[in-house]
Amino acid sequence: MTITAEQIKFRKGKIGASQFGQAIGHGYGSRTRAELFHQMKGHMPPIVETTAMRVGNFMEPFILEEYTLKTGRAAEEYPDTQVHPDEPRIICHCDGITSDKTRLIEIKNVGPRMASAWENGVPEYYWVQGCGQSMLTGIKKVDFAAYFGGNDVRVFEVEYTDEDHAALYDGLKDFLRYMDNDEEPPHVIADLPNLDKYYAVEQDVVTVVPADKFDDGEVNAAIALYRKLKQDAKVSSQHKEHLAIAEFTIKEYMHSTELLVGQDGQQLFTWKQGKDKTVTDWEGVAAKLAEQYNVDSLEYDGIVNRETTTKKGNRTFLCKIKENV
């Protein structure tokens, strides 16, 4: 969708759907709430249209046609901009809608380079964008039509709930309060409970992600910052915040993969899911048995006391030598 001069003027001081994720801490890569705050306050240069944006706009009609061919659902461009009835600074413009008005269509020109980010479905920053569009239009189903290059067009179907809408709205209102108070917002990540459910899929493959396979250097910069901060003896709240942002950027890039390596083959980071553990609440079992076999409380307490022992703590060895940085 090409943005007109009138639309740019209208959007000034407002949060659009593509910014919703960033506003609530679910932004792409290292894009933070603070960065969005300064952009909206005019402290940073405006974002200029890139080649990737122009190509995406050019490809939209083709991808929309492919969506219809794949799904059998007639589709058309979405006609106008939606504004939240209670907060006019929250707005969106959708790419398309099915002719029966039951599904929104969000078009993404992904390309093969970014395909790994879609391995488990819609990336979270786009998931949040779709949630906002659903919230503002009242249409619960959003189809993401993603073009990966060649003849590879895929459709990802997401259905949002009132709970999703409420959680997103609360996060956006929180960001706007910082705007109103002219105060830079802290780095927090809003809780979107159904977002975790969307990604609740098994990960059984370890994939190596080369650290040189990204376009704008954000991940390289985050890796360098992370390593520097880890070596820094100074630990402050700002230090921890910058470390958390760097870690978030690296994890966002790794997505569902477990190993990140550099161009030289050196292992840089692992992010592995621990094995689930089966834990038995033996105290609960004993209480149920005591209740079932009519064991009185004094006898029960006596058994517990006799079977309770103190386990000696482990001896931990730590290196306390401070390296000169």
DSSP 88: T
State whether 302 and 272 are in the same domain.
yes
Who wins on pLDDT, 184 or 272?
Answer: 184
Q: Is the dihedral of CA 69, 73, 76, 77 positive or negative?
A: negative
The yes-or-no verdict on residue 247 having pLDDT over 80 is yes
- In this prediction the pTM is 0.60
Q: Which two tokens stand for residue 141?
A: 């189903």
Q: What would the mean pLDDT of 39-60 be, rounded to a whole number?
A: 81
State whether 132 and 174 are in the same domain.
yes
The yes-or-no verdict on residue 325 having pLDDT over 70 is no
Instruction: Name the band, by pLDDT with cuts 50, 70 and 90, for residue 12.
Output: confident
Please give the pLDDT value at position 203: 34
Chain segment 100-141, per-residue pLDDT in tens: 999 999 999 987 778 888 888 899 999 999 999 999 999 999
State whether 285 and 325 are in the same domain.
yes
Who wins on pLDDT, 40 or 220?
Answer: 40
Chain segment 215-228, per-residue pLDDT in tens: 447 777 888 888 88
State whether 37 and 171 are in the same domain.
yes
State whether 265 and 298 are in the same domain.
yes
For 190, the domain range is 5-201
Who wins on pLDDT, 42 or 205?
Answer: 42
Total domain count, the chain: 2
Please give the pLDDT value at position 50: 76
SS3 state of residue 97 = strand
State whether 238 and 158 are in the same domain.
no
Q: Is 275 left (phi over 0), alpha (psi -120 to 50) or beta?
A: beta
State whether 270 and 292 are in the same domain.
yes
Who wins on pLDDT, 207 or 270?
Answer: 270
Q: Which two tokens stand for residue 246?
A: 């760097």
Residue pair 209/259 in contact by the 8 Å Cβ criterion: yes
Q: How many residues does the chain have?
A: 325
What are residue 215's phi and psi, to 5 degrees?
A: -95, -30
CB atoms within 10 A of CB 58: 11
The yes-or-no verdict on residue 275 having pLDDT over 70 is no
Q: Which two tokens stand for residue 54?
A: 């122009």
Please give the pLDDT value at position 60: 92
The yes-or-no verdict on residue 324 having pLDDT over 80 is no
- Final residue of a domain: which of 184, 201, 218? 201
- Final residue of a domain: which of 201, 218, 246? 201
Q: Which two tokens stand for residue 261?
A: 């390596």
Specify the pairing of strand 91-92 against strand 96-98.
unpaired
The yes-or-no verdict on residue 81 having pLDDT over 50 is yes
Residue pair 259/207 in contact by the 8 Å Cβ criterion: yes
Q: Which range has the top average pLDDT, 93-97, 264-268, 275-279?
A: 93-97
Spatial CA neighbour of 219 closest among 243, 257, 265, 254: 254
- Final residue of a domain: which of 151, 183, 201? 201
State whether 137 and 166 are in the same domain.
yes
The yes-or-no verdict on residue 205 having pLDDT over 50 is no
State whether 194 and 219 are in the same domain.
no
